[in-house]
Structure 1
Amino acid sequence: MARIARIVAVNLPHHITQRGNYHQNIFIDNRDREEYLRLLNRNSEKNKLKIISYCLMSNHVHMIVIPSTKDSMAKTMNIVNMKYAQYFNAKKNQRGHLWQDRYYSCILEEKHLIAAARYVERNPVRAGLVKEPWKWEWSSAKHNIEMSRVLHDYTGIKPDSWKEYIGQEEKKDLLKDMRRHTITGRPLASENFIKKLENKLKRNLTLLPRGRPKITKIK
């Protein structure tokens, strides 16, 4: 599936996902997960990248983030991926690529933020690892229910309401949309929002057909 060149919109939410090379496991034990989160927390704070939600799975990660500058996302992800790969390869005494290509991302219209954060935190439930999102230790679900201010400041949703919301199953259409837009890089947003974003960024955000353009007969 073709994807457009990466786009970043300052102060708007983005969905990020990054997978292990050839779908290999990137986390073997809890020490690995702790190291990844340490790197993520340190560098996201340094580069002014707000983490709304996250989830660490065995062979991939998901996040909803809000960049404060146009470089916040790239600087954070690049250093985290590099440092974690060095740590992981040294631990296993191996060489080679840990990550599959560059990370995927897409801009989210703010009306999709709450649903996207739930999508991220319900990953372990969909995978059959837990029955309730907050039971998964390696996601933001429990933190967002108990004490997080970042999610609630941006959405206005209260912790009790958030617990109830992420306990509900997502609509299948949303799952498809999240996956498709993240792979292609096209914003998950209304056409009106996309048009405004195109005007602001001065670039086309529509996927063009692959291959040579069709020859049109002149009449």
Structure 2
Amino acid sequence: MGRPPRIDLEDYWYHVIARGNERQRIFKCPADYEYYLKLLDDRLYASRGNLGAYCLMPNHIHILIRRGSDMLSSVIHNVHSKYSHDFNRIYGRDGHLFQGRYKSFIVLDDSYLESLIFYIHENPRRAGLETKEQRYLWSSEKYYMGKKCLWKSFVKVPGYEGKAGINNYKDLLKSRLEKVTPNYKTFIGTMQESIKINKRRKDRQSIQSFDRRERETIENIANRYSANFKITIKEMRGLSRDRNISRIRKDAIKEMLNCGYGPSEIGRYFNRTSGYVNLIRINYE
């Protein structure tokens, strides 16, 4: 039986976990930690993604990522391939550094972000690698406590920005014993939202088998909206953020989705990513 496809949507937060092969160390010195973070930061920044929290343990990692324009799988694959290649070269080893494919969990409810950043930052304390006198160095918790972060892609999750956010995080630490780590398999979010995604998976086959000869083309749908609302096709397919044009464009995309067209082909027509179309579909459903 094949592995289930990943849920990969632009502008959503993901909790990513990766472990060393056979539980071996993936970081052996401070330079290794720094190099991994630099690779990740550069890759996220280039794709307009964000790093919201991280904890690099000696033999595994926890990172909270907001996906940008590039697929999450592409970002992680690029970073891990480059890091593994250089790690093996430096330490004279062969073979896989990471154990299997990474795990990723989409966050569908922002209220879970608070539990996640606590869970990620709590790892060194649970492993006995941090004391009150000595903070763990390879965690983003210091940035939530007020230290300036130099990573270009780093942003604090909503509710923890600015000076007020520092106090909020300190309050979170004081009450951490009351916090419960979310229980999840492939997602973190409300049951209603998870049902939407599972429904789209089940409907994919029937959508793909839709008889193309009986439906209106993407071009004709766009032309009809253009004529009805007195805007040009160039405006609809352009990058204008005018609210009226954006609303008309989204309405046209919803109709195209109802006709069975996929996010990729709709995205190509409007010069946008499939993730952009997927977000419209989620809000629509």
Q: Which residue of 2 aligns with 1:27?
A: 27
**How far does the alpha carbon of each residue in 1:80-114 deviate from its partner, in whole angstroms, 9 at most, with x for none?**
10111011101111110001111100111211011
Q: Which residue of 2 aligns with 1:151?
A: 156
Structure 1 counterpart of 2:173, which letter? I
Quick one: structure 1 residues 114 and 134, their matched pair in 2 at CA, closer, same or farther if it must change by over 3 Å? farther
> Deviation at 1:172?
7.7
SS in 1 for 2:18: strand
CA RMSD of aligned residues (A): 2.4
With the length of structure 2 as denominator, give the TM-score of the two structures.
0.61
Structure 1 counterpart of 2:168, which letter? S
> Deviation at 1:73?
1.8
Matched, 1:94 2:93: yes
Q: Which residue of 1 aligns with 2:169?
A: 162
Q: 1 or 2, which has the higher helix percentage? A: 2
With the length of structure 1 as denominator, give the TM-score of the two structures.
0.78
Q: Which residue of 2 aligns with 1:192?
A: 192
Aligned residues: 192
Q: Is the 8 A contact 1:12 1:110 kept in 2?
A: no
Quick one: structure 1 residues 170 and 84, their matched pair in 2 at CA, closer, same or farther if it must change by over 3 Å? farther
1:24-173 alignment runs, 5 A limit? 24-69=24-69, 71-108=70-107, 109-132=109-132, 135-146=135-146, 147=148, 150-152=155-157, 154-156=158-160, 158-170=165-177, 173=180
> In the aligned structure 2, how far is the partner of 1:101 from the partner of 1:133?
36
Query: More relative contact order in 1 or in 2 (CA 8 Å, sep 6+)?
Result: 1
Structure 2 counterpart of 1:95, which letter? D
Matched, 1:174 2:176: no
SS in 1 for 2:176: coil
SS in 2 for 1:120: helix
SS in 2 for 1:99: coil
Structure 1 alignment gaps of length 5 or more: 205-219
SS in 2 for 1:44: helix
> Deviation at 1:128?
1.0
> In the aligned structure 2, how far is the partner of 1:42 from the partner of 1:123?
25
Structure 2 alignment gaps of length 5 or more: 203-285
Structure 2 counterpart of 1:151, which letter? K
